[in-house]
Amino acid sequence: MSLNLEQYVSEFSAQNINGEHLLQLDGSKLKALGMTSSQDRAIVKRKLKEMKTSLEKARKAQEKMEKQREKLRKKEQEQLQRRSRKTDKCSSDATEGTNEQ
């Protein structure tokens, strides 16, 4: 509807074309859905290409954020391990000092 192609809404609805199915459509499938105008198909294909590009960018951004989170988690884990070792060493040194006296 945002592309001013309302005349196809009923057929798309009747064929249960949802967002996932929509991204799989090509020119021949659009034609089979009753989109006889080559201009209308070109509009839809252009918009689908834009949508796929946007989805890919969003997916890559999500992966990048996940990698950054994982890197941060590892860094925090390493810091905790260092602190733990330092605490263990200090406790050990204090125990040895008490035993020597």
Q: For the residues of 26-50, what is the DSSP string, one character each?
A: -HHHHHHTT---HHHHHHHHHHHHH
Contact 47, 3 (CB under 8 A): yes
Residue 38, both tokens: 């080559």
Contact 12, 21 (CB under 8 A): no
Q: What CA–CA distance (Å, rounded) separates 47 from 49?
A: 5
**Strand ranges (E), the chain:** none
Q: Which fold has domain 6-86?
A: DNA polymerase; domain 1 (1.10.150)
Q: What CA–CA distance (Å, rounded) separates 36 from 5?
A: 12
Residue 19, both tokens: 């967002």
Entry pTM? 0.62
The pLDDT tens digits along the chain (101 residues) read: 788 898 988 888 899 998 888 899 999 999 999 999 999 999 999 999 999 999 999 999 999 999 999 999 999 999 988 888 877 777 766 666 555 55
Domain ranges of the chain: 6-86
